[in-house]
């Protein structure tokens, strides 16, 4: 390894993107975006610093961010997220600009974030890393669905640091617009299959007060209902107050939330949700966020109905975006079936990795 001077320092999360101390945070998000663009081969998955800041200010989680400086500029970043109510798990992310790799920066950042995790008593470290297609042997997911190229830099790096591949996630893209007559036809067929006990509701922006309690139940279920294989992602508990605080933080990020939910008419309770996060600029891609149907209500085509309902809402109320991007576990066939029926196609894959810190590997 060539020896090149670099230093690592912690980043203070600014209260606002316009704060005098926001420069390092902004540069760290720019590193995030440069690496995402390099890994996926498109800048469609980039987010602005203002869009990213709310999740860093979320007081229901702990956050740490470190950056690597080389020649007076930020060339890498390492971050950690952890839930306050669950003591074991944390999510790590280390990224180095493509032109500054193989110089030890990634190792130094990983050691820094792993040390912070250890000091906080965290023993379960989870990493999601994009794996571009690569030649040669593949490392297969223990779920039996998906693989990553064994010679890719991130795969070599994570294996070398003692992480284990637990799952493969598929990134999918739906080119817009979708023919409206096709969508209306699909929605009618799904509604017939669902029967008379369910009704869709759609809205833009903040969650109506009448649905806050039900949405808190759905969000909490979302944290554990998504297949997480050997990652065993912990439950994240949502309350109406947490939803309201999150909405207030996100109010300044320039994006619009579009929801479609499904009400179970006999109980008057919501039993499913889907949400798009729509950027202000119509040149940019829409993000598909949470989609969930509660277990007792599965098998009624409600996932398809909600997705199509939300797509119709997007195309009618906020038209002009080039595509929608979504991420699903490769083994989550029911969700992939819904997405493929609407027209989503694969755009890339991410490995989900885990390292458990024990007395022996506490290095």
Ligand X SMILES: CC(C)(COP(=O)(O)OP(=O)(O)OC[C@H]1O[C@@H](n2cnc3c(N)ncnc32)[C@H](O)[C@@H]1OP(=O)(O)O)[C@@H](O)C(=O)NCCC(=O)NCCS
Query: Could you list the residues that contact ligand X (CB under 6 A)?
Result: 1, 35, 39, 92-96, 101-107, 127, 129-130, 153-154, 156-158, 160
Residues 258 and 316: their CA atoms lie apart, in Å, by 12
Give 118 or 298: the residue with its C-beta nearer to ligand X.
118
Using alpha carbons only, how large is the chain's radius of gyration in Å? 21
> % helix / strand / coil in the chain, to the nearest 5?
35, 30, 35
Bridge partner residues of 263 (DSSP): 199, 270
- Residues with Cβ < 8 Å from 39, sequence gap 6 or more? 130, 131, 132, 348
Bridge partner residues of 82 (DSSP): 62
Angle separating helix axes 180-194 and 302-317, nearest 10 degrees:
150
Residues 266 and 264: their CA atoms lie apart, in Å, by 6
CB 157 to ligand X: min, Å: 4
CB 113 to ligand X: min, Å: 9
CB 192 to ligand X: min, Å: 45
Give 113 or 308: the residue with its C-beta nearer to ligand X.
113
CB 72 to ligand X: min, Å: 18
* DSSP structure string for 66-100: EEEEETTEEEEEEEEEEESS-SSEEEEEEEE-GGG
Give 67 or 129: the residue with its C-beta nearer to ligand X.
129
Distance of CA 237 to the CA centre of its chain: 17
Give 68 or 200: the residue with its C-beta nearer to ligand X.
68
Give 35 or 258: the residue with its C-beta nearer to ligand X.
35
CB 97 to ligand X: min, Å: 8
Asked if residues 240 and 220 have their Cβ atoms less than 8 Å apart, the reply is no
Give 62 or 101: the residue with its C-beta nearer to ligand X.
101
Residues 25 and 255: their CA atoms lie apart, in Å, by 20
CB 98 to ligand X: min, Å: 8
- Residue, CB closest to ligand X: 106
What element of type H or E holds 102?
A: none
Give 47 or 344: the residue with its C-beta nearer to ligand X.
47
CB 6 to ligand X: min, Å: 9
- Residues with Cβ < 8 Å from 51, sequence gap 6 or more? 253, 254, 255, 279
CB 131 to ligand X: min, Å: 8
């Amino acid at each position: 390894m060539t020896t090149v001077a670099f230093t690592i320092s912690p980043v203070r999360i600014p209260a606002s993107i316009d704060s005098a101390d926001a420069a390092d945070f902004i540069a760290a998000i720019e590193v995030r975006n440069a690496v995402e663009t390099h890994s996926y081969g498109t800048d469609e998955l980039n987010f602005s610093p203002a869009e990213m800041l709310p999740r860093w200010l979320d007081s229901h989680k702990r956050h740490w961010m470190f950056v690597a400086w080389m020649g007076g500029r930020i060339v890498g970043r390492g971050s950690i997220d952890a839930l306050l109510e669950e003591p074991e798990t944390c999510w790590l992310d280390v990224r180095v600009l493509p032109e500054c790799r193989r110089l030890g920066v990634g190792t130094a950042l990983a050691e820094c974030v792993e040390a912070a995790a250890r000091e906080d008593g965290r023993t379960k470290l989870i990493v999601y890393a994009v794996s571009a297609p690569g030649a040669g042997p593949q490392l297969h997911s223990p779920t039996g669905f998906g693989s990553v190229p064994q010679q890719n830099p991130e795969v070599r790096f994570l294996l070398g640091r003692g992480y284990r591949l637990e799952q493969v996630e598929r990134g999918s893209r739906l080119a817009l617009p979708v023919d409206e007559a096709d969508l209306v036809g699909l929605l009618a067929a799904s509604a017939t299959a669902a029967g008379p006990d369910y009704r869709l509701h759609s809205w833009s922006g903040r969650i109506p007060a009448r649905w806050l309690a039900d949405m808190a139940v759905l969000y909490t279920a979302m944290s554990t209902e998504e297949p997480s294989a050997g990652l065993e992602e912990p439950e994240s508990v949502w309350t109406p107050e947490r939803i309201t605080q999150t909405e207030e933080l996100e109010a300044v990020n320039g994006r619009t939330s579009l929801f479609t939910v499904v009400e179970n008419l006999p109980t008057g309770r919501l039993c499913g949700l889907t949400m798009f996060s729509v950027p202000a600029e119509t040149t940019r891609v829409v993000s598909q966020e949470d989609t969930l149907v509660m277990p007792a209500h599965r098998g009624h085509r409600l996932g398809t109905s909600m997705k199509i309902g939300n797509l119709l809402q997007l195309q009618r109320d906020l038209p002009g975006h080039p595509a929608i991007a979504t991420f699903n576990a490769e083994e989550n066939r029911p969700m992939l079936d819904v997405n493929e029926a609407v027209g989503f196609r694969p755009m890339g894959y991410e490995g989900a990795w885990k390292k458990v810190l024990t007395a022996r590997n506490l290095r």
